[in-house]
Structure 1
Amino acid sequence: MYKHDEVLHVHEDLQSRLIQSALILFEENGFKNTTVNSIVIHSGSSKGGFYHHFKSKDELLYRIHESFINHVNRLVDELEQKDLPPAEKLDYILTHFIFVYDHYKAHITVFNDENKYLADEYKTEIVASRRKFKSAIETIIIEGQAADVFTKDIHPTVITMSILGMVNWMYTWYKPDGRKSLEDIAEEMKIFVFNALRSHS
């Protein structure tokens, strides 16, 4: 008989397998054309195993989003424990935000391409979970402007949405095997952002 932690490990492995299979199939065939049965077959699971972890295909897509948005929101929690000036806070959160693509590019790509099929109940939760990260960046910008570190010529919301848009859309062009490494991209994006934010006072 399995010990309790061994049972949990088996369940986590099955959940991970189901998500990985869904990522592959959603990328290849799209959310709409991928059935629960095809995910089950691809993952070597069973329908009972699928419905033990997810009540529907919609919930599975929501959990794909949850995996990477929880990761970036943990960055916010970590940052709140650090006593850093605004520029260092922005450097920290930008670097780690960009490096989300190191582990979650498939999750981000699938979600952005297929989220139009999500039920409204999940869309509401997604907006709420993304608001935390947006607010954290905007707060850093406001702090930097108050300290005359960042320009006051641009509204903090415009700066925040520009940063989010720039990084979020990386999924359309970033390739892990491309000419630029993620390290290179992070450094060049930060140069771009900090040059734009430089205070002229």
Structure 2
Amino acid sequence: MLDVFGRHVAERGFERANFGDIAAELGISKGTIVHHFGTKSVLLRELQERYMRRRLAEAETLLDNTAGADEQLAALIYAFVNYQVVDRTSTVAFQREVVQLLDDETLATVRRQRADYRRLVRDVIRDGIDTGLFRRCDEDIVSLYIFGSVHWMWTWFDPDGHAPVDHIASEYVATTLRGLVIDDSRVERLSDPNGTIAELVRHTLEAANDNHAVQR
């Protein structure tokens, strides 16, 4: 039910997704969905909480396996972009309905998860400043810039388009790091789509995706 609902939200938006279409696709009654979830808001909550749990776990894995704020931020940005392919339906469903998080009490936990995620990125930027890797900047603004630019990719990115996701991720990493690092001699290596950081991200996301498939 969650997977079908997520696809409908990704394709149509939350307001146009409805229990009738979900039930018809699954060959069940609408009452079955109501029994398990009650309302669309609860379905959205379950979908988004599951999504954020996975993203936070992956982020922690990436941070544990990288050294230095520049490597960590590069890995996180690679992951942010690759979600448009690796977990596209859930990513689009999450990102296009982020406005639902603003004041819906049902989604309070998701708001906290998103705040934790943003704090994680902000702490990486702060660590880069404190250790002399990054120029002094407003880490709040920079973190919002990163999330804002990546989280609107669903509006223009085409997985079958002419620009492969690794190329786009590389450009995002290079552009962001060049605006932050004091010594940009490492940027080319960190933004290399065939480099160790990109490979770490691919391995981490593939492992997490395989584990998620087994759990389902």
Partner of 1:99: 82
Asked if 1:142 is matched to 2:126, the reply is yes
- Tell me how far apart the structure 2 counterparts of residues 196 and 132 of structure 1 sit (CA, whole Å): 24
Partner of 1:127: 111
What amino acid does structure 1 have at the position aligned with 2:119? Answer: S
Partner of 2:68: 85
The one-character-per-residue Cα deviations of 1:70-112 (angstroms, maximum 9, x if unpaired) are 2210123314533611111111221122211123322233344
Q: Once superposed, what is the RMSD of the aligned Cα atoms?
A: 2.3
Which moves more between the two structures, 177-186 or 103-112?
Answer: 103-112
Q: How far is 1:133 from its partner?
A: 1.0
Partner of 1:191: 174
With over 3 angstroms needed to count, the CA separation of the structure-2 counterparts of 1:164 and 1:28, relative to structure 1, is closer
Q: 1:31-180 residue pairs with structure 2 within 5 A? A: 31-82=14-65, 84-114=67-97, 116=99, 120-152=104-136, 154-180=137-163
With over 3 angstroms needed to count, the CA separation of the structure-2 counterparts of 1:189 and 1:27, relative to structure 1, is closer
Q: Quick one: percent identity of the two aligned structures?
A: 23
Partner of 2:207: none
With over 3 angstroms needed to count, the CA separation of the structure-2 counterparts of 1:147 and 1:65, relative to structure 1, is same
Q: How far is 1:40 from its partner?
A: 0.6
What amino acid does structure 2 have at the position aligned with 1:132? Answer: D
Q: Is the contact between residue 72 and residue 124 of structure 2 (CA under 8 Å) also seen in structure 1?
A: yes
- Tell me how far apart the structure 2 counterparts of residues 161 and 39 of structure 1 sit (CA, whole Å): 35
- Tell me how far apart the structure 1 counterparts of residues 12 and 85 of structure 2 sit (CA, whole Å): 23
Q: Is the contact between residue 68 and residue 107 of structure 1 (CA under 8 Å) also seen in structure 2?
A: yes
What amino acid does structure 1 have at the position aligned with 2:42? Answer: E
Which moves more between the two structures, 191-200 or 177-186?
Answer: 191-200
Q: Is the contact between residue 26 and residue 110 of structure 1 (CA under 8 Å) also seen in structure 2?
A: yes
Instruction: Give TM-score, length-normalised by structure 2.
Output: 0.74
Q: How far is 1:179 from its partner?
A: 1.0
- Tell me how far apart the structure 1 counterparts of residues 126 and 51 of structure 2 sit (CA, whole Å): 26
Q: State the aligned residue count.
A: 182
Instruction: Give TM-score, length-normalised by structure 1.
Output: 0.79
- Structure 1, gaps ≥5 residues long: 1-17
Q: Is the contact between residue 65 and residue 108 of structure 1 (CA under 8 Å) also seen in structure 2?
A: no
Which moves more between the two structures, 109-118 or 181-190?
Answer: 109-118
With over 3 angstroms needed to count, the CA separation of the structure-2 counterparts of 1:178 and 1:91, relative to structure 1, is same
The one-character-per-residue Cα deviations of 1:110-148 (angstroms, maximum 9, x if unpaired) are 344345557722332221010111111111111111111
